[in-house]
Structure 1
Amino acid sequence: MPEVTAAYQPGTPCWVDLAAPDQQAAIDFYSQVFGWTGEIGPPETGGYAVCLLNGKPVAGIMAAMAMGGQPPPPTVWTTYLAAHDADAAAQAVSSAGGTILMPVMDVMTLGRMCIAGDPTGAVFGIWQAVDFPGAGIVNEPGALIWNELNTTEPSAGAAFYKAALGIESAPIEGADNYYALKVNDRPVGGMQPMSEQMPPDTPSHWLAYFAVADTDETVAKVTAAGGAALQQPFDMMAGRMAVVTDPQGATFAVINPKPLQG
């Protein structure tokens, strides 16, 4: 079922959010493309917008603001990995060779979080749920369906995520140089080497995939709303997918997945 009714297991992608220079424009864009509803939040939450699909939280959009003398964050979708204890997870990240970019902090009564980088440079979040477990709907059109680590060093990435967060990796049969990331032997994401099609200065990164009913139609919506296609729709083993950017430069993937074999 697409509705999430149980807590996310540690190591599982549980949330994604976007920092955008123009927050309202981003909300409007994703509402057009995916049918989300959302509005800029109150000042006490920094204006953070929790976007909904069918009344369930599906993703966050915030204004990209400079904090603590640092430049504003890049316009990217950030993948958050679930943790029982954010402080312990942050320590494990550091011990395994990662970097804590934003220290652990409370998010009101919703949970505790930090932002980290793995040894290959990919940035991700850690989320310890309290009142807010994360995405309330997944794996259906308009919702998150997959999170993929694109890395310059797959072996280093695999070793890091296992040591820091207990995420196992294993080759996927029939997929050249593609690995499943597993929690309790259940695939929760993917990992692959950086594609030669990417610009040479592209850093290692996590890519969020959103499910759609029609990939070609969605790409047409993206371009009509001011975004662009980096990879036009194509068929692959998991379905028909495309890689796109929104008008402010945030990259994400869309996929019409093949039905699961019973």
Structure 2
Amino acid sequence: MIIRPGHPCWVELATNRTERSIRFYEEVFGWEYRWIRDDAGEDYAVALLDGEPVAGLRPLERRTLDWTPYLAVGDLAATGERVHELGGTVLETRPQVLPGLVAKVLVDDPGGSTGGIAQPVDGWGFTAGVPGALVWLEFVTRGPRRADPFYGALFGYQQRQVGDGKAVDHVVYSTGGDTVIGRVRMALDTPATVPPRWIAHFAVPPGLDFAGTLQRARAAGARLRFQPYPSPLGQVAVLADPLGTRFAIIDPDQASDWDSASPADDPYDD
């Protein structure tokens, strides 16, 4: 496969109750799982949809509030050095290598948001942009003046304001003609204790519409963060899974015109 720098190439959930997380996302999206071991011998669950990898679940002693996206790079070491030059921080001294998938490290941007960079390895397989898989990333930050230059320089993103830039500050990051990330400034009155974050958006699974997916997720233990809202990419609902991890479902068949009053800048503050 062709490596496209700046495009999502993996998405991961670190969870302190792996079996509970596995069961929830299986019930909502129909994922199956294959256990592998990374290069250090640690167990790792690869989520599969129709036999193709769509996500990973990593056991962790503490719970996390968000899914972690990984953005593709051609040279992991060189990009890590560039992260430091631009004011970010590489959080791991050595990459985690998932056989047949990616070598990856966690990164903090200058605004303190944690994401990841990853170099796909030989035989890389990752499916996105289809029902039941990752279709969109939203980056929520209180520091857009630090985030936009950082990601623009690191990946060469073109950046376009789609809000009014004042009351609603939404910017889309694009590369190679593809829009890949939506950057959202937190509401100005958001408490300082609320951290920046990434929200992974997964398309409704095959055979289900938006309402059916939302009903299935809530029956499986998810909590609705706030009322569903329309967007140019589809109808969206931001949820918390049974362990409190935030994610979103989106139905591309219900795409609408941009609405600058969208609640997408909700602070997600609990």
Q: What TM-score does the superposition give when structure 2 sets the normalisation length?
A: 0.83
**Post-superposition shift, 1:140?**
2.0
Give a deviation string over 1:32-91, Cα, whole Å, max 9, x none.
0000001444586422000100111000011114xxxxxx46343100000000111111
Equivalent residue, structure 1, for 2:226? 231
- Within the candidate set 36, 39, 43, 1:47 is matched to 43
Which residue identity lines up with residue 52 of structure 1 in the other structure?
L
- Within the candidate set 123, 128, 135, 1:145 is matched to 135
**Post-superposition shift, 1:195?**
4.0
Partners of 1:188 and 1:22 in 2: CA distance:
30
Range with greater deviation from structure 2 (52-61 or 32-41):
32-41
Partners of 1:95 and 1:50 in 2: CA distance:
33
Range with greater deviation from structure 2 (172-181 or 118-127):
172-181
Equivalent residue, structure 2, for 1:112? 103
Which residue identity lines up with residue 22 of structure 1 in the other structure?
R
Equivalent residue, structure 2, for 1:125? 116
Equivalent residue, structure 2, for 1:56? 52
Partners of 1:33 and 1:195 in 2: CA distance:
30
What is the aligned length? 249
Equivalent residue, structure 2, for 1:96? 86
Equivalent residue, structure 1, for 2:175? 183
**CA spacing shift, 1:132–1:151, aligned 2, 3 Å:** farther
- Within the candidate set 25, 33, 38, 1:30 is matched to 25
Which residue identity lines up with residue 130 of structure 1 in the other structure?
V
**CA spacing shift, 1:83–1:29, aligned 2, 3 Å:** same
Equivalent residue, structure 1, for 2:199? 207
Note if 1:83 corresponds to 2:78.
Answer: no
Give a deviation string over 1:113-144, Cα, whole Å, max 9, x none.
21100011111111111125352x22222100
**CA spacing shift, 1:34–1:106, aligned 2, 3 Å:** closer
Equivalent residue, structure 2, for 1:154? 144
Which residue identity lines up with residue 225 of structure 2 in the other structure?
L
Range with greater deviation from structure 2 (35-44 or 154-163):
35-44
Partners of 1:113 and 1:169 in 2: CA distance:
25
2:36/2:43 contact within 8 Å kept: yes
1:21/1:75 contact within 8 Å kept: no
1:15/1:134 contact within 8 Å kept: no
2:199/2:246 contact within 8 Å kept: yes
2:231/2:255 contact within 8 Å kept: no
**CA spacing shift, 1:85–1:45, aligned 2, 3 Å:** same
1:147/1:188 contact within 8 Å kept: yes
Q: Which runs of no fewer than 5 residues in structure 2 stay unpaired? A: 257-270
**Post-superposition shift, 1:9?**
0.7
DSSP-derived class of the 1:236 partner: coil
Q: Which runs of no fewer than 5 residues in structure 1 stay unpaired? A: 1-5, 66-71
Q: Please, what is the CA RMSD of the aligned residues?
A: 2.5
Partners of 1:140 and 1:112 in 2: CA distance:
24
Q: What TM-score does the superposition give when structure 1 sets the normalisation length?
A: 0.86
- State, as a whole percentage, how many aligned pairs show the same letter: 35
